[in-house]
Structure 1
Amino acid sequence: MSDSLPAGSLALPVRRHRQGEMHDVTDAVAEECPVALVFNGISHAVMMATPADLEYFALGFALSEGIVEQCGAVRDIEVIRHDDSVEVQMEIAQGDFVALKAQRRALAGRTGCGVCGIESIELLDLSPTPIAHAAPAVDEAIVARILADLPAQQPLMRATGCAHGAAWCTPSGEIIRVFEDVGRHNALDKLLGWMAREAVSTDNGLVFLTSRASYELVRKAARRDVALIATISAPTSLAIRLAREAGITLLSFCRPNGFVAY
């Protein structure tokens, strides 16, 4: 295999069986490790994630979970790498930190899970504020363009076959930026963190996700005023409910020849 591996992957020896033959080769494997998110010295969440683009991930998590409202409230981010884990230390505004301590919860998220370890059902925020701006109009040709262009911008997925992608796209279907992670919600947090850091307006575009539409993805997008979400796979009933309450247009089962609008 090539000596050049995409960020977030490792080269490991494997034994490949094909058509009755066996070969010892080196293969690319997506990285997954515990990433501790520490706010003002207190560990708040441990997420299993791909250890790439972690500053964007931490910022996006802080914003999409409602820990801070504005990008500027995160004063500093430091990524500290250990042998088998990563710590991301953030300094946030004192008012936000006081609010965080008042409703502190312990998240221990496995891949694809955003609320494992939550202390009570009451802490789940399932009432999104309606988004003020309208979603852009999207047709089959736009979805087809995104689907055609997306694989070229997913190096981790191409190398490993084991990564979700979250893309910010224009209403015409141009892909502006893609982030990848073994966890679908982590990929979205990386994208949202980048958008906040770069002051990308959510007024005129859409988020495209290479996953199912689960409730936490819709909830995160709602907090960041994303009015249109498109996913390759199916939505859940709670994702549909939250999208309707927030005024988000949700497109799922996206294929080159069509999609389902919820």
Structure 2
Amino acid sequence: MRASRSISARALGPDGARAIARSLPEEVPVAITCNGSTQAVMMCTPSDLEDFATGFAFTEGYATPSQIEGIEIIEVAQGIEARLWIEEEAAAALGARRRAMMGPVGCGLCGIDSLEQALRDLRPVSADLSLAADDAAGAGEALRAHQPLHDLTQAVHAAGFFMPGQGIVLAREDVGRHNALDKLIGAALRAEIDPACGAVVITSRVSVEMVQKTVLAGCAILIAVSAPTAQALRVADAARLTVAALARGGRIEVFTHARRINEGAVDVVA
């Protein structure tokens, strides 16, 4: 299944009307199954689904990469199944956060069983990483060079992994911002890249779940093009995660644990 499709439309404007073809992202239901049992159904862009399944299973507490024995991506009449085969010990522990839902784009908390699961306990980040202020401020623009599906469709989010001295070394795209981050985390884990060695960069706002997934991955810095929510900052502060947001036009605002961003020549708005 392709990640995008060309759709016919009519363009209307001051210069009149004309027929056009517009490339738009696909959005399909993807069922995450573990040992034959469906755990979640998310609306996703049908690309990099092995990465998505790995990252989603890890950040949702289903299984670590070492507990995943195999992955199958199967196209079915209703959508796509991402079939994970995991160790029995991990399979037995799934009941604590079982999901059975159809998540709309951008909604990562629908279907959880309790309020306690929405604000789950996080182990504080211990990674000792720092970035120059100009690198942090330019990370969002650096990610733009790794967004081919966005360039084609203007309708998807991206998440990238920025390493000091190397720039963006991995990037993934999806119609859902949570899905893009799960894909990125899964790609890093499958490539055996230590998330503690770099920063996560996202094109969306910083929500609670984006903070949770970044912390669970072991990454110490989250950089965003858009703003954070107040609750996301409370969670980030408690988890010792550095949140730097509104990375636009060579400027950035650091909200939590600013010691990891080395101030320099960047003119940060007060």
Q: Residue 98 in 1 paired to residue 98 in 2?
A: no
Match of 2:44 in 1: 49
Match of 2:124 in 1: 130
Matches within 5 A, 1:72-221: 72-139=66-133, 141-172=134-165, 174-221=167-214
Q: Percent identity?
A: 36
TM-score scaled by structure 1? 0.92
SS in 2 for 1:203: helix
Change in Cα spacing, 1:222 to 1:204, as seen in structure 2 (3 Å) is same
**Structure 1: gaps spanning 5 or more residues:** 1-6
TM-score scaled by structure 2? 0.89
Alignment partners' CA distance in 2, 1:104 and 1:203: 28
Greater displacement, 101-110 / 9-18 = 101-110
Q: Residue 8 in 1 paired to residue 12 in 2?
A: no
Q: What is the deviation of 1:103?
A: 4.2
Question: Which residue, 15, 18, 27 being the options, matches 2:13?
Answer: 18
Native 8 Å contact 1:47 1:108 kept in 2: yes
**Structure 2: gaps spanning 5 or more residues:** 256-270
Alpha carbon RMSD of aligned pairs, Å? 1.6
Native 8 Å contact 2:225 2:248 kept in 1: yes
Q: Residue 239 in 1 paired to residue 248 in 2?
A: no
Q: What is the deviation of 1:119?
A: 2.4
Q: Residue 257 in 1 paired to residue 214 in 2?
A: no
Native 8 Å contact 1:135 1:249 kept in 2: no
Q: How many residues are matched?
A: 254
Match of 1:63 in 2: 58
Alignment partners' CA distance in 1, 2:13 and 2:60: 45
SS in 2 for 1:96: helix
SS in 2 for 1:244: helix
Give 1:118's aligned amino acid. I
1:150-177 CA-partner distances (Å, limit 9, x unpaired): 2221011001100101000112461101
Native 8 Å contact 1:227 1:247 kept in 2: yes
Match of 1:3 in 2: none
SS in 1 for 2:145: helix
Match of 1:4 in 2: none
Q: What is the deviation of 1:27?
A: 1.1
